[in-house]
Amino acid sequence: MKRNIAIIDDHRLVVSSLKHYLGDFDMFDKIEGFSSAEEFIDTYMLNAVDLPDVVLLDINMPDMDGCEALEKLNQLWGDLKVIVLSMYDNEGIILRMLKLGARAYLLKGTDVKELVEAISTVIQKGYYYNDRVSSCLMGSIKHLKGKFPEKVDLRDREIEFLKMLCTEMTYKEIAEVMCLSPKTIDGYREGLFEKLKVRSRTGLVVYAIKNGYFILNS
């Protein structure tokens, strides 16, 4: 199946170059460029068309920067798969974008083959963590030493739920896979929040990685 890609970047040369390089790969059916997140949102809000399979998003843009754009996109379409493609190799920025819901973070100097691999992996698995991102996550986890309860006994179904949280699945999809009602899933989530002393899905994912329930790039 061929895929549709959207590029949000205010630099026309970047958009043109990405279209050119990605166009050489047979897996892409349509590659659209947008100069801003507002333009992308207006296009898909006003027109009854399917969302792209993956969005490539720049950070440094006028009006609405990448952080604001990612928050807005997640508010409108929580399942939209967004890969950040930026010139900033900064651990704080990388972690912030991941916490906001980015499925991958790549530098603009990335080889086109890795970019295509990232797109394909995000479509199939929901995320793509290269060595740079994995290093940032592991560094963040080390800094969290002592912030989680030392020993927490989790039931098998809680562990199953915790692992699924590390994927691209929504809470509704997790409920369907586990053959549970959305209300029961909400109960699992709130229960883990209380047990692990965290307040967000990101916190649960970090706990899962830190304690070996989920292996990066597994």
Write the DSSP string, 16-58. Answer: HHHHHHHTTSTTEEEEEEESSHHHHHHHHHHS--PPPSEEEE-
- C-alpha to C-alpha distance for 143 and 25, rounded to whole angstroms: 40
- Amino acid identity of residue 180, one-letter, is L
Find, among 106, 59, 109, 51, the residue nearest to 81 by Cα.
Answer: 51
- C-alpha to C-alpha distance for 54 and 28, rounded to whole angstroms: 11
Percent of the chain exceeding pLDDT 70 equals 90
pLDDT at position 218: 43
Q: What is the pLDDT of residues 30-48, one digit of tens each?
A: 999 999 999 999 999 887 6
Asked if the model's pLDDT at residue 142 lies above 60, the reply is: no
- C-alpha to C-alpha distance for 58 and 207, rounded to whole angstroms: 29
pLDDT at position 47: 77
Q: Which residue has the higher pLDDT, 131 or 148?
A: 131
- C-alpha to C-alpha distance for 171 and 185, rounded to whole angstroms: 7
pLDDT at position 141: 57
Percent composition of the chain: helix, strand, coil (DSSP 3-state, to 5): 50, 10, 40
pLDDT at position 37: 94
Q: Mean pLDDT across the stretch 174-196?
A: 90
Q: Which residue has the higher pLDDT, 49 or 161?
A: 161
pLDDT at position 144: 52
Structural domain boundaries of the chain?
A: 3-141, 144-210
Contacts of 81 (CB under 8 A, 6+ apart): 53, 54, 55, 103, 122, 123, 126, 168
In the sheet where 54-57 sits, what is the strand order? 28-34, 3-8, 54-57, 82-86, 104-107
Q: Mean pLDDT across the stretch 132-147?
A: 65
Domain formed by 144-210, architecture = Orthogonal Bundle (1.10)
Q: What is the pLDDT of residues 86-137, one digit of tens each?
A: 999 888 888 888 878 888 999 998 999 999 999 999 998 888 888 888 777 6
In this prediction the pTM is 0.70
- C-alpha to C-alpha distance for 18 and 6, rounded to whole angstroms: 10
- C-alpha to C-alpha distance for 67 and 209, rounded to whole angstroms: 24
Residue 213 DSSP SS3: coil
Asked if the model's pLDDT at residue 148 lies above 60, the reply is: no
pLDDT at position 140: 65
Phi first, then psi: what are they for 160, rounded to 5°?
A: -60, -45
CA atoms within 13 A on the CB side of 31: 18
Q: What is the pLDDT of residues 149-173, one digit of tens each?
A: 566 788 999 999 988 888 767 788 8
pLDDT at position 87: 92
Fold classification of 3-141 (topology level): Rossmann fold (3.40.50)
Q: Mean pLDDT across the stretch 211-215?
A: 75
Find, among 46, 3, 47, 44, the residue nearest to 22 by Cα.
Answer: 3
